Amino acid sequence: MTGTAAAGTDARAPRGPLALVLLAAAFLSGFLLFLALGIWQLQRMAWKHDLIARVEARIHAAPAPAPDAAAWAASSPRDHEYRRVTVRGTWLPVPDVRVMAVTEAGSGFWLLRPLRRADGSVVLVNLGLVPESWTAPPAGGRAEVTGLLRLSEPGGGFLRRNDPAGGRWYSRDVEAIASALGLEDVAPWFLDADRESAARVTGGAPWPRGGLTVVRFRDNHLGYALTWFALALLVAGGAWRFALEERRIRRRHSVRREDSDAADRAAPPRR
C-alpha cells in the first residue's frame, strides 16, 4: 500500500510555477495569521495582568468621594470601575428594585435603592443580596454608603432580557431602571455597598447582605497564545514537508528525463 502510494507520488509531474506560487502564498498566509494571533494573545495577556493589578489596588485602597458628572465626563468609565468610593445623600421614597442574582451566598435578588446626593444627582445603590421571601423596610432618611463603583449592565442576563413593565430584572441596567422609576439626573454607574455599609443602613439586620462583589477576570490568554503558535508551527512544518516532497519529485523527474534522453540517443536509427 505504501509502495503504491509512493509510486503514484513519484509518477506525478512537478507542479507548475503558478501552483507553487499559490501554495506558497497559502502556507505563508496561514503561518503569518496564526503567528499574529499568538502575538495578539500575548499582548492581551499583558493588558489583562495590568488590569488585574490596577483593580486589586483599587479595591484595597481607602475610599474616595464618588465622581460627579464633570469628573465622569472628563475621564474614561474604565478609570473608575471597581474604585472604592463613598456616597452621601438621602434615600428617595420610591420602590426598591430587585435584580435576580446568583452568588456565592446562594440565589436571590440584588436590592437596589436610589440615593439623591447634595448636588441633586441620583446614585443607584446595590445594598446586597436578599432572599425572595424577604420584605424590605421602607427607605428614608440620610445615609452614607461605601462600596465599589460598578459600570451599568445594559440589556439583561444570559438569554433573558430585562422586563421593566413586568418588574423583572436580570441585570443592573442603570438607565433602564432609572427610566422605570421615573428618575432624572442619574449617575451612569451603580454602587455595590460593602458589608459594613449595608449593615449600617439596615440597622444590623441579616438582609440585605452586602460585600458580595466578585472581582474575577478570565485569564486564558497564555493557553490561547500557545495554541496559535502551535498551529503556526504545524503550518510551517507542512510547508517544509511539501517543499522537500516537491524537490524529491523534481529530482526524480529530471533523472527520468535524462535516462529517457540517453535511451533515445543510444537507440539505432530507424530505417
Cα separation, 82 vs 90, in Å, equals 23
Give the containing element (helix H, strand E) for 65. Answer: strand 64-65
Q: Give pLDDT tens digits for 8-48.
A: 445 677 778 888 899 999 999 999 999 999 999 999 999 88
Is a pLDDT exceeding 90 seen at residue 234?
A: yes
* pLDDT score of 260: 64
Which class in CATH covers the domain with range 60-201?
Answer: mainly beta
For residues 147 and 197, the answer to whether their CB atoms sit within 8 Å is: yes
Cα separation, 113 vs 127, in Å, equals 7
Cα separation, 103 vs 24, in Å, equals 53
Helix, strand, coil % in the chain, rounded to nearest 5: 45, 25, 30
What percent of the chain stands above pLDDT 90?
Answer: 57
For residues 125 and 115, the answer to whether their CB atoms sit within 8 Å is: yes
pTM of the model: 0.72
Closest CA to 237 of 4, 12, 34: 34
Q: Give pLDDT tens digits for 135-194.
A: 877 777 899 999 999 999 998 877 789 999 999 999 999 999 999 999 999 999 999 999
Residue position matching grid coordinates 509518477:
11
Closest CA to 97 of 130, 66, 120: 130
- Long-range contacts formed by 251-259: CB under 8 A, 24+ apart: 252/10, 253/13, 253/14
Query: 17-59 and 221-266 are packed helices; what angle lies between their axes, rounded to 10 degrees?
Result: 170
227-257 as b/e: b if 16+ CB within 10 A: ebbebbeebbeebeeeeeebeebeeeeeeee
* pLDDT score of 247: 86
The ranges assigned to domains in the chain are 60-201
Cα separation, 213 vs 151, in Å, equals 13
